[in-house]
Structure 1
Amino acid sequence: MGVFTFVCRSSGGKWTANQYSGDLEGSADSTYELQRKLVQSALSVDSSGGVQSSFSFITPSSAVFQVIVGGGSGGGFSAGGGAAAAPAGGAAPAAAEAPAEKKEEVKEESDDEDLGLSLFD
């Protein structure tokens, strides 16, 4: 698995990027074109699997772009920050617990009705 982090800057209408810890770099007229070029640069070094990328603006003229190649994603697409890092097995118990909590809430609401108190009485 390869992780490539790039520091991106805009100057004079052109975006440039340098790898944070390495020799890869790129430039383009737009952030979209720059991201495509940087992914291709990362793939030329490591093409061991699927690709995930993240582009985050720091200021209007600077950003950080990260490309992750490979890893055990299982071929699925995941969007989002922390959710992507959680293993698939850990998500199932959380989903199973959520309906149980909803049932308890409904039960509590019905207990209030049994007290004979109503807003419209």
Structure 2
Amino acid sequence: MGVYTFVCKKSGAEWSAKQHSGDLEASADCPFTLQRKLVQSALNSGDSGAIQSSFNYITPSSAVSQVIIGGAVAASIVGGGAGAAAAPSGGAAAAEAPKEEKKPEKEESEDEDMGFSLFD
């Protein structure tokens, strides 16, 4: 799993980015294009897997971008809360959902609980 954090700054009409602790750099004319170039730079570093990226403005002319490649797969919830979580090693562990006990519901309205009725 690779995590790449970039400090991005706007100078004139161009955005530039430098990796926080590394040698990767990129520049572009808009933040969207810059983010795409940063993802491509991170991919060229040799990591593989799922890609997650974010671009968060700090001020109108500065931002932080993060690219995450690889990592664990999020578990999905199936049915009544039962799901399976993927282990980082690739194996899956099944999780059993606790059985829910249904309590009988009272058939009283909330108006009777307050001591008056709105329709009297």
- TM-score of the pair, normalised by structure 1: 0.69
CA gap 1:23/1:109 in 2 versus in 1, 3 angstroms: farther
Give the distance between the partners of 1:69 and 1:29, measured in 2 at CA: 25
Q: What's the offset of the Cα at 1:120? A: 2.4
| TM-score normalised to structure 2 length | 0.69
Higher helix fraction (1 or 2) = 1
Map 1:28-43 to 2 at 5 A. Answer: 28-43=28-43
Q: 1:3-46, CA deviations, whole angstroms, 9 ceiling, x for partnerless residues?
A: 00000000111000000010000000000110010000000013
Letter in 1 for 2:7: V
Task: Tell me how far 1:109 sits from its aligned partner.
Answer: 9.1
2:47 is matched with which residue?
47
> Any idea what SS the aligned residue of 1:45 has?
coil
Matched, 1:113 2:100: no
- State the Cα distance separating 1:55 from its structure 2 match: 0.6
In 2, are the aligned partners of 1:51 and 1:70 still within 8 Å (CA)? yes
Q: Secondary structure at the match of 1:23?
A: coil
Whether the 8 Å CA contact 2:111–2:118 is kept in 1: the answer is no
3-state secondary structure, aligned to 1:113? helix
Uncovered stretches (5+) of structure 2, i.e. residues with no partner? 83-96
Q: How many residues align?
A: 100
Cα-Cα RMSD: 3.1
Paired residues of 1:2 and 1:46 also in contact (CA < 8 A): no
Q: 1:12 to 1:50 in 2, by over 3 A?
A: same
Provide the C-alpha distance between the structure 1 equivalents of 2:63 and 2:107, rounded to a whole number of angstroms: 49
Structure 1: state its 5+ residue gaps. 74-86
1:2 maps to which residue?
A: 2
Query: What's the % identity of the aligned pairs?
Result: 58
Structure with higher strand content: 2
Structure 1: distance between partners of 2:68 and 2:16: 19
Residue 75 of structure 2 aligns with an amino acid whose one-letter code is A
